[in-house]
Homo-oligomer: A and B are copies of this chain.
């Protein structure tokens, strides 16, 4: 039946594009209270759209002190069919620096077959594809192949601070057999790719102090610890010359890569010289692993920010008494976020000499790496759709980044996820001149009906094995 749905969607293409552009025009920047009106506008547009297409139980799910999520369900497929939560988010990153945009970030502009606008790729494009797919099933077939719960978050771009509380408050409404995410994934493009996992993350910020106050470098230089020298020496202990993390205990649980994992990782080839060339960077990293392995199957420790002393124009002859650094650690399956975080903290404490005081600022724990099991029905369904549509067995890949909701939904609702977004990695999400390809919109409007149909062929029981 998805063929009629796909035809309907193709016929509605101009109207769908117009609705996507309308959604994009709401400047829904979640991190900045100045954009509260844009957030409200996007929410109301979505609430209205879900009601119009015939979703039930349409409502805002309030977060205690955060941005409410938009919710709507359609459960007419009956208890024997799987219930699928479809995840998307309506908030976007800030558009700064504005001066680098070729067209205004919240006035979507069509150029060269692309929609240029903040949020077009991340993730209003793919969110619209998901909603319109459900709309088309309801309009053409009078129902969906599966039960659907649409959950559109408003805090993804600020790290979903209210999401755990929100889930806790609405466990019943949110119960489902599995989650299909419009965010993440690599469904677009010529090479069929199945995105089955992501690295986890934990973070640590610390300040280092060598004296109670800054001193004049003329007066003390040569006889007093300089906080910047100490920060440099400490950060330099985290990696070896090849960039391998040399923090004792950090990799606990990560284990060596199995042959199966290495074969899986190699299923999607990477042109390593081209990859480095795109960044204008030289090859780097543990030579025992491929670049894809280094960035998806191996953990990392990265200093994201480091500062201290005088950083303004000209000079200041100061021997700084304090320095600061922000770190994030990417985690792979098997690593416990709190343990990895504690290992880095202990390493820094162990390497700080007498006379160097450390102060840590962090939320204990973090997000585990996520992997969708090889035998999960979502994986089988998505593979079948991609295989048929693209004429080849999909390559399997993992994200080097982190999609906290995959871990969160699994840990709190026991729900596995598949990312099936249509955004491509080159679309400058989070950067000026973000865009979304119109061809990806069209592709999404073909793939999503196929995927829901494929999932609908599976009995709900297939999702409920306890393993």
Interface residues of A (CB under 8 A from B): 198-199, 201, 203, 205, 210-213, 215-226, 228-229, 231-236, 238-239, 241, 243, 276, 279-286, 291, 294-295, 298-300, 302-312, 315-321, 323-326, 328, 330, 353-355, 399-402, 425, 430
Some 16 contacts from A to B, beta carbons below 8 A apart, are A217-B300, A221-B295, A223-B294, A224-B281, A224-B284, A228-B303, A228-B305, A228-B325, A231-B306, A232-B232, A284-B355, A304-B315, A305-B310, A305-B312, A305-B320, A307-B311
Residue of B nearest to A234 (CB): B232
Across the interface, do A282 and B355 meet the contact criterion of CB distance under 8 Å?
A: yes
Across the interface, do A319 and B306 meet the contact criterion of CB distance under 8 Å?
A: no
Q: Which of B201, B203, B221, B225 contacts A282 (CB 8 A)?
A: B225
Q: Which of A218, A311, A318, A355: most chain B Cβ within 10 A?
A: A218
Residues of the B chain whose Cβ atoms lie less than 8 Å from the Cβ of A298: 222
Q: Which of B219, B228, B231, B303 contacts A309 (CB 8 A)?
A: B303
Given A210-B282, A223-B243, A315-B326, 7 other A-B residues pairs in contact with their CB atoms under 8 A? A201-B218, A222-B243, A225-B284, A233-B235, A279-B321, A304-B320, A306-B306
C-alpha gap A241/B317 in the complex (Å): 22
Residue of B nearest to A328 (CB): B317
- Known contacts A284-B225, A400-B219; A309/B315 CB under 8 A: no
Residues of the B chain whose Cβ atoms lie less than 8 Å from the Cβ of A401: 216-219, 317
- Known contacts A232-B231, A232-B306, A324-B311; A221/B281 CB under 8 A: no
Across the interface, do B303 and A226 meet the contact criterion of CB distance under 8 Å?
A: yes
* Closest beta carbon of chain B to A364's beta carbon, Å: 15
Residues of the B chain whose Cβ atoms lie less than 8 Å from the Cβ of A281: 210-212, 224-225, 321, 355
Across the interface, do A309 and B306 meet the contact criterion of CB distance under 8 Å?
A: yes
C-alpha gap A243/B302 in the complex (Å): 26
- Known contacts A232-B236, A235-B229, A306-B309; A219/B295 CB under 8 A: yes
* Closest beta carbon of chain B to A60's beta carbon, Å: 25
Across the interface, do A221 and B302 meet the contact criterion of CB distance under 8 Å?
A: yes
C-alpha gap A221/B295 in the complex (Å): 6
Residues of the B chain whose Cβ atoms lie less than 8 Å from the Cβ of A232: 231-236, 303, 306
Residues of the B chain whose Cβ atoms lie less than 8 Å from the Cβ of A238: 229
Q: Which of B198, B217, B226 contacts A330 (CB 8 A)?
A: B217
C-alpha gap A323/B324 in the complex (Å): 14
C-alpha gap A216/B278 in the complex (Å): 13
Residue of B nearest to A402 (CB): B218
* Closest beta carbon of chain B to A322's beta carbon, Å: 11
